[in-house]
């Protein structure tokens, strides 16, 4: 079956079910030692989205592209490989690629539980929505995939990883600026849960967020 083509990157949400299937696939790759960087196997607990892009998305999409004898160089996003058509996102995830993917998925699971999302709920994750072979970011920030995705989503979830890396990322600050500008809902999560909930009221990540200035 040929992959889909979804011209509008803001319509490349990945469903909860597709994310969970990817998690299982990645866990199996790690367990068998097939994911390697600098000739060293990558443990599931250390896997981040830089690893996923370089070692999984690019080679898998390239392999399928040439196997199916598609025209031109590889250019599709991961969502276009797994979705039958456009999937308009309900939520945009703002996050650091350097955070552990298992923590990212822990946040996904908590967001799904808190909001009562179905397995078919699409979520916009730049790693899987944007082509890892080069995405057209447009001539202005307002024409970038990030702004366009926030425009169609109901709200944004900021993922604060263990090292609070997302608080140092310019793109995360920009996504929060766009979220505020478009008057969208914003929630902040750590792997332990939503900031402000009974599960997450204090600790170093909460303190880091309290001191964060995006102005």
Q: Tell me the average pLDDT across 128-146.
A: 95
Tens-place pLDDT, residues 48-88: 999 999 999 999 999 999 998 888 999 999 999 999 999 99
Task: Report the alpha-carbon distance of residue 46 to residue 153 in Å, rounded.
Answer: 30
Tens-place pLDDT, residues 192-215: 999 985 555 545 555 554 455 555
CA distances to 40, 73, 99, 193, 206 from 163, in Å:
23, 36, 7, 16, 12
**Which range has the worst mean pLDDT, 67-71, 108-112, 139-143, 168-172?**
67-71
**pLDDT number for residue 69:** 87
**pLDDT number for residue 201:** 53
Q: Tell me the average pLDDT across 23-31.
A: 97
**pLDDT number for residue 212:** 52
CA distances to 36, 63, 82, 185 from 178, in Å:
37, 36, 28, 11
Q: Tell me the average pLDDT across 137-151.
A: 95
Task: Report the alpha-carbon distance of residue 181 to residue 151 in Å, rounded.
Answer: 10
Tens-place pLDDT, residues 146-200: 999 999 999 999 999 999 999 999 999 999 999 999 999 999 999 999 998 555 5
């Amino acid at each position: 079956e040929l992959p889909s083509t979804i011209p509008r990157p803001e319509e490349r949400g990945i469903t909860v079910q597709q994310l969970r299937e990817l998690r299982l696939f990645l866990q199996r790759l790690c367990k068998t030692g097939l994911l390697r960087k600098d000739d060293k196997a990558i443990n599931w607990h250390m896997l981040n989205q830089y690893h996923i892009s370089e070692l999984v998305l690019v080679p898998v999409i390239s392999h399928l592209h040439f196997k199916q004898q598609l025209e031109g160089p590889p250019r599709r996003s991961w969502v276009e490989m797994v979705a039958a058509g456009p999937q308009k996102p309900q939520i945009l995830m703002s996050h650091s690629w350097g955070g552990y993917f298992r923590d990212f998925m822990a946040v996904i699971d908590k967001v799904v539980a808190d909001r009562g999302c179905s397995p078919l709920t699409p979520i916009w994750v730049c790693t899987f929505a944007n082509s890892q072979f080069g995405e057209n970011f447009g001539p202005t920030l307002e024409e970038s995939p990030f702004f366009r995705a926030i425009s169609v989503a109901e709200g944004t979830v900021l993922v604060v990883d263990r090292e609070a890396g997302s608080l140092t990322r310019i793109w995360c600050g920009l996504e929060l600026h766009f979220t505020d500008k478009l008057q969208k809902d914003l929630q902040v999560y750590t792997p332990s849960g939503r900031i402000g909930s009974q599960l997450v009221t204090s600790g170093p990540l909460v303190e880091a967020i309290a001191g964060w200035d995006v102005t």
